[in-house]
Amino acid sequence: MAKALDLDEQEQLDQIKHFWNTWGNLISWLLIVVLGSYAAWNGYQYWERSQAAKAAALYDEVERAVGSGDLARVERSLADMKEKFGRTQFAQQSALLAAKTLQAQGKSEAAREALIWVVSGAKDPAYRDIARLRLVALQLEAKAYDEALKQLGSDFTPEMAGLAADLRGDVLQAKGQSADAVTAYQQAWNKLVDTPDYRRLVQAKLNALGIDPDAAAVSETPK
């Protein structure tokens, strides 16, 4: 009996050796890949957390610079943020904050550059659209109407579509295209149902152009 068991064990051992000789290298490489991927994922998560923490600290510096009114410091801290943490949302927020301050202090070109940077690189559509609307406002102020309309030509998120339509109406009205402006304002009025205060502002613009949007909405209702 013992001898039979020994033979069985030897046979099993031979089978294991054969299996390992056939598949051992592949199994080893698979383990290396799996464990390496797990280690890389953990490393990336740690790097992401570290980057976010550092970006948050630098965003605080941008806020302090804005609060102090030191424009040179604002531009310097924003440049640092863009260089070191340009892929983070903190960088988009910093650029929007800096642009607002730069514009208020008369540095329109620097503000425009900051907004263009957000428009061209923001991963979050909300930040991108906010930057586009602010950029259009600057272009409208500079009477760069065609550039403004070009910015407004792309689709906006549903939350921003009404504001974009209203701003398009402002640009068209400034160009002297009142009929097109009315169309844009009516689109804005229809899209801003959930923001009644802003909607009343659009309604006032339509009223100034001789249009009552409430009456127009009633007349368009199917009978």
Q: Could you tell me the residue ranges of all domains in the chain?
A: 53-123, 147-217
What is the spatial distance between Cα 61 and Cα 53, in angstroms, rounded to a whole number?
A: 13
Question: Which pair of structure tokens corresponds to residue 197?
Answer: 């205060």
pLDDT score for 36:
60
Q: Are 90 and 58 in contact (CB under 8 A)?
A: yes
CA-closest candidate to residue 135, choices 168, 158, 113: 113
Instruction: Specify the residue for token string 């948050």.
Output: 56
pLDDT in tens, 99-147: 999 999 989 999 999 999 999 988 889 999 999 999 999 999 999 999 9
The DSSP letter of residue 88 is: S
Closest CA to 99 of 132, 123, 121, 147: 132
Residues of the chain with pLDDT under 70: 1-14, 16-20, 24, 28, 31-52, 216-223
**Residue pointed to by tokens 């949302």:** 89
Does this model's pTM top 0.85? no
Residue 202 token pair:
């659009």
